[in-house]
Amino acid sequence: MSRMSFSLLASDAGARRGRLDFPRGEIQTPAFMPVGTYGSVKAMTPRDLHASGAQIILGNTFHLFLRPGLEVIAAHGGLHRFTGWNGPILTDSGGFQVFSLAHRRKISEQGVTFASPVNGSKVFLGARSALAHQGNDAALFGIVQGGTYPALRSRSAAELMQIGFDGYAVGGLAVGEPEAERNAMLEHTCPQLPADKPRYLMGVGRPEDIVEAVARGIDMFDCVMPTRNARNGHFFTRFGTVRIRNARYEHDLAPIDPQCTCYACASGFSRSYLRHLDRCNEILGSILGTIHNLHYYQELMAQIRAAIEAGRFAAFREDFYQRRSGVV
C-alpha cells in the first residue's frame, strides 16, 4: 500500500489542479521536477533547489545503479541522506535507457541486459516492477507506451490499469515526434486514465510544451532543459529566450529578467557579466543560469496552478504565448 495520495482540487476545461501527499511533504500540481540523474541536479545545492520552489526531484535508477551502486546508497539509508535532498524523490526506472542506449542492450522476456556505459560490464534490469514492488510503500507509476499509435496507447493504458498503479506516466514522447502528434497522443490517452490518479508526462519539456500538456490533463513533468540549457547560456524568461552568447549582450547591464526574483536576477548580475562568465567557462555562469532557469520553470508552474484555480487557464495560456514571442 503506497503512502502517496492524490487529491484533485480543481479543474478548468482539461487542465487539472491537484495535490500529492507524501510522508516527506506535499506537492502542488501541475508540478515540474528538476532532473538529478546522478543524485545531483547539475550546478545546484539542495538549498538553492528549495529556494527555486522545487518540491520534488528526479533520480535515475539505471545511472545510480552503475554509480555509486545500490550498496553505497543503502549504506546511507537511502537516496535522501545520500544526496541531502529531504523532499520527495521520483526515480526513473531506467526504461528510457532501453531506448537511448539501444546499441548497448539486449531485451528478453525477463528484462533488459546492458553493457555498462561506465566500464562495459553486464547490467541486468528486471521488467517485473509491480511484482517486485509488493510490500514496498513507495508509490509506483505505470508507464503508458505505444509511440504515436492510438491503438497501442489504449492497449497499454488498459493493461496497466488492470495491474493498478499509484499514478500513470506517459512515456515514449518528447523523443523527436512533431508537436501535433504528441498533443494528439495526449488527447487520446489522458481521458482513458483514471481521474483520481496523477498523470506524468516524461521528459517534457519547453515551457510551451508544458502549457499544452497541462491543457490536456497532465499533472507532472520532468526535463533536463532548464538545467542543460543554462549551462549552454540559454536562459528562459517570460519575454522570450536570452541566448547569452549573442554579441548584443556584451554591454547589457540588465539582469536576465529585470522582473525576476531569483538570486541571479535580484542580485543584479548583468547579462554582460553572465556573457563574460560563459565565455570564460566559469562555473558561476552555470550556477547563476541554472538558478534562474529553474526559478523560471517553478514560477511558470505556480502561475499555471493559480490560473486553473481561478478558472482562467485559457486566458493565461493566451497571455503566456503573447509574452513569450517577444524579443529580449
Minimum CB separation of residue 276 from a copy of itself in Å reads 4
C-alpha cell at 170: 506517459
Q: Check residue 323 for interaction with a copy of itself (CB under 8 A).
A: no
Which of 48, 92, 209, 252 is labelled catalytic?
92
Considering only CA atoms, which of 301, 316, 308, 229 is closest in space to residue 54? 301
Query: Cα dist. 115→65, 106, 127, 148 in Å?
Result: 13, 9, 17, 29
Map the footprint of a copy of itself across residues 92-151, applying CB under 8 A: none
What is the rounded distance in angstroms from the CA atom of residue 125 to the CA atom of residue 64? 13
Of the ranges 3-11, 124-132, 150-158, 264-272, which one interacts with a copy of itself (CB under 8 A)? Answer: 264-272
Minimum CB separation of residue 247 from a copy of itself in Å reads 12
What is the rounded distance in angstroms from the CA atom of residue 61 to the CA atom of residue 112? 14
Is residue 294 within 8 A of residue 228, CB to CB? The reply is no
Peptide bond into 34 cis (omega under 30): no
Minimum CB separation of residue 283 from a copy of itself in Å reads 4
Of the ranges 34-42, 101-109, 148-156, 202-210, which one interacts with a copy of itself (CB under 8 A)? Answer: 34-42
Q: Which of 60, 83, 156, 293 touches a copy of itself by CB under 8 A?
A: 83
Q: Check residue 43 for interaction with a copy of itself (CB under 8 A).
A: yes
Q: Check residue 65 for interaction with a copy of itself (CB under 8 A).
A: no
Map the footprint of a copy of itself across residues 228-257, applying CB under 8 A: 250-251, 253
Query: Cα dist. 312→212, 296, 298 in Å?
Result: 15, 20, 19
Closer to a copy of itself by Cβ: residue 80 or 133: 80
Query: Cα dist. 117→62, 66, 166 in Å?
Result: 11, 9, 32
Is residue 23 within 8 A of residue 35, CB to CB? The reply is no
Of the ranges 108-116, 157-165, 212-220, 277-285, which one interacts with a copy of itself (CB under 8 A)? Answer: 277-285
Considering only CA atoms, which of 208, 183, 205, 235 is closest in space to residue 324? 208
Minimum CB separation of residue 265 from a copy of itself in Å reads 12
**21 tagged catalytic:** no
Q: What length is written for the chain? A: 328
Q: Which of 9, 13, 75, 132 touches a copy of itself by CB under 8 A?
A: 75
3-class state of residue 55 by DSSP: coil
For helices 283-309 and 313-324, give the axis angle rounded to 10 degrees.
Answer: 150
Under rule CB under 8 A, how many of the chain's residues touch a copy of itself? 41
Considering only CA atoms, which of 2, 181, 170 is closest in space to residue 95? 170
**319 tagged catalytic:** no
Considering only CA atoms, which of 255, 254, 271 is closest in space to residue 263? 255
Minimum CB separation of residue 11 from a copy of itself in Å reads 38
Of the ranges 2-10, 12-20, 26-34, 284-292, which one interacts with a copy of itself (CB under 8 A)? Answer: 284-292
Q: Which of 62, 168, 269, 320 touches a copy of itself by CB under 8 A?
A: 269
DSSP annotation string for 268-328: T--HHHHHHHHHTT-HHHHHHHHHHHHHHHHHHHHHHHHHHHTT-HHHHHHHHHHHHTS--
Minimum CB separation of residue 81 from a copy of itself in Å reads 8
Q: Check residue 45 for interaction with a copy of itself (CB under 8 A).
A: yes
Q: Which of 13, 70, 72, 315 touches a copy of itself by CB under 8 A?
A: 72
Q: Check residue 211 for interaction with a copy of itself (CB under 8 A).
A: no
Residues annotated as catalytic are 92, 222
Binding-site ranges for a copy of itself (CB under 8 A): 38-40, 42-47, 67-68, 71-72, 75-76, 81-84, 250-251, 253, 263, 267-270, 272-273, 275-277, 279-280, 282-288
